[in-house]
Amino acid sequence: MIVAEWKPMPELLERMRGVKKLLLVGCATCVAECAAGGEREVETLAPLLRMAAAKQGGALEVITKTLERQCEWEFVEELAKLTPAADAVLSLACGIGVQALAERFPQLPVYPGVNTTALSIREKPGLWTARCAACGDCVLGDTFGLCPVARCAKSLLNGPCGGTRKNGKCEVDENTECVWTLIFERARQRGQLEVLLKVRKPKNWSRSGHGGPGRIDREDLRV
Amino acid sequence: MSYKAGSRLEKVIAAGNFALTVEVGPPRSADPEVIRKKAALLKGYADGYNVTDNQTAVVRMSSLAGAKLLLDAGCEPVLQMTCRDRNRIALQSDLLGASALGIKNCLCLSGDHQKAGVSGKLKGHPGAKNVYDLDSIQLLAVLKGLRDDARQEGGDAVDKPVPFFIGAAWTPLATPEEFRVLRLAKKIEAGADFIQTQAVYDVKRFGAQLAKAREMGLTDRAAILAGVIVPKSAGMMKYMNKNVPGVEVPEELIRRMESAKDPKAEGVKITVELIDALAGLPGLKGVHLQAIEAEDLLPEIIKAAGLCPRPEI
């Protein structure tokens, strides 16, 4: 899923300066799963914003709404009846949702309430770790189902750098597994270490953001 | 005899000599005198002088400029290039430039992560975007392509082959240890002619990994130079043992350093002993000696190890 984290409170409050009526919009999909922008987080953040504004001597009215998905136009449309009353929108969706609202309601400032960080899995309650970098050229078939593009700090494709800690963690973060150590272990368990001996050629990064904004154009799906 | 690049380092190794390289870190300034002074101190003591490429992700004079300054001062540089800061376009451009300036040895590295720069008093640039368009093994193959096929990575022709004696790093004792020999094999397959290793203090464990490499025929395909870092204190040894991946310092050496009256002299003595012990390992072709911020110790060590004068080539 797409995961995100709340922006720091001081940054949010700075954005709210001068705003009288705020439309705070959550998204019930990915960011709800990672407890950053679902209905519960919207209803938690709203009173915090009101209190902080009151403390600064202002009155902030916060209208809350959580959409099924902020990245789908049919759901975004539900906001049309609420936007006339608002002078700004704070979206707790990922960057896709924020942009969808800004595109549908161009007359209003739409601010991001979260930082979208990665495509992650929930390892255990309260812990999400990156699994996919959306690089557009999947290598998982050659790396025993573990992604070095997303999970190696250097996105190395031919094995671990010299920085693997004794306990198999990454030199960059003592809490992160060296994915190449995991790949090696899985290859060994399968008895296929020879697969890792193959020198992988330079990757084609043009299918990731480096080739310009991504596009999938399927004429067969148009009506 | 025909050479791949004809560098002094390549010729010394080809003639069967025990090779010696040292490290010269560029300054955190634009002052060429720093490099010139180190060159004057070390000239004639080594076959190659590694110039580091913004090691630990701290901004320093570029390795390319540092290498040219060394060359002009009569020391043959080993240009270090990391994949952290440049994509394949910039790397190849710098390689063409380096060759045009007369640089013949290049060591290909992944490079320290930009988070490594945050240590001690320095702020570094932890918010920097890294590149890693290529990894070190792919960079080796790129150099080999420029030299052997006169082709750029993308396939375009280069007017003339670009002669480099190609080097790679090896951390034989890092986790997962069993994979490290395979990774060495990949580096040699990709194009490495010589290898410089992470610092060795545990000669026995290093020797075991080297023996595996030898069994695979790797020591005949590339010249392996064992890394030696001059220890300056027991604290430094403990730090490296704990914090530098792949560096294993035996307890006995740390104790020796702790009880030494003059740790600096003891460090020199330990270094000479390490070089002697390493020189006895079958398949090892030389040492890569580093005295971090203490290059003035090197001439004494090199003389004491019997590695001076360097062979006539």
Assign A223 a pLDDT band (cuts: 50, 70, 90).
Answer: confident
Q: Mean pLDDT across the stretch B81-91?
A: 98
Residue B312 lies in a domain: no
Alpha carbon distances (Å) from B55 to A217, B12, B89, B110: 44, 27, 21, 11
The mean pLDDT value of chain B amounts to 97
Residue B309 lies in a domain: no
Size of chain B, expressed as the number of residues it contains = 313
> What integer pLDDT is reported at residue B263 of this predicted model?
95
Identify any residues that bridge with A65 across adjacent strands, giving them in sequence order: A25
Cross-chain Cβ contact A196/B112 below 8 Å:
no
A195 interface with B at CB cutoff 8 Å:
no
- pLDDT over 80 (residue B117): no
In contact, A74 and A52? CB cutoff 8 Å: no
pLDDT in tens, B141-174: 999 999 999 999 999 999 999 999 999 999 999 9
Q: Mean pLDDT across the stretch B262-273?
A: 97
Which of B110, B175, B185 shows the shortest C-beta gap to A181?
B175
Instruction: Compute the nearest-CA separation of A29 from chain B (Å).
Output: 30
Instruction: Compute the nearest-CA separation of A43 from chain B (Å).
Output: 33
SS3 content of chain A, % helix, strand, coil (to 5): 35, 20, 40
Instruction: Compute the nearest-CA separation of B186 from chain A (Å).
Output: 6
> What integer pLDDT is reported at residue B116 of this predicted model?
87
Residue B313 lies in a domain: no
Cross-chain Cβ contact B183/A156 below 8 Å:
no
Q: What is the pTM of this model?
A: 0.96
A26 interface with B at CB cutoff 8 Å:
no
Cross-chain Cβ contact B84/A154 below 8 Å:
yes
Which of A154, A162, A202 shows the shortest C-beta gap to B245?
A162
pLDDT in tens, B200-234: 999 999 999 999 999 999 999 999 999 999 999 99
Instruction: Compute the nearest-CA separation of A183 from chain B (Å).
Output: 10
Residue B131 lies in a domain: yes
Percent of chain B with pLDDT over 70: 100
- What domains, with CATH codes, occur in chain A? 2-117 (3.40.50.2300), 134-209 (no CATH)
Nearest CA to A159 out of B286, B184, B201, B278 is that of B184
> In the structure, how many helices (H) and strands (E) does chain A have?
7, 9
Contacting residues for A10 by C-beta, under 8 A, at least 6 apart:
none
Residue B58 lies in a domain: yes
Q: Mean pLDDT across the stretch A99-128?
A: 97
- Provide the CATH number for the domain around residue B36: 3.20.20.220
Cross-chain Cβ contact B245/A202 below 8 Å:
no
pLDDT in tens, A16-31: 999 999 999 999 999 9
* Mutation site for A-interface testing, chosen from B175, B187, B197 by largest number of A Cβ within 10 Å: B175
Q: Mean pLDDT across the stretch A62-83?
A: 98
Cross-chain Cβ contact A172/B198 below 8 Å:
no
**What b/e string do you get for B93-102 counting C-beta neighbours within 10 Å, with b at 16 or more?**
ebbeebbeee
Residue B263 lies in a domain: yes
Residue B56 lies in a domain: yes
Residue B3 lies in a domain: no
ipTM: 0.95
- pLDDT over 90 (residue A57): no
Q: Which structural domain, as residue segments, surrounds residue B203?
A: 8-304
Element (H, E) at A87: none
**Tally of domains within chain B:** 1
Q: Give the span between the Cα atoms of A46 and A112, in whole angstroms.
A: 14
> What integer pLDDT is reported at residue A50 of this predicted model?
96
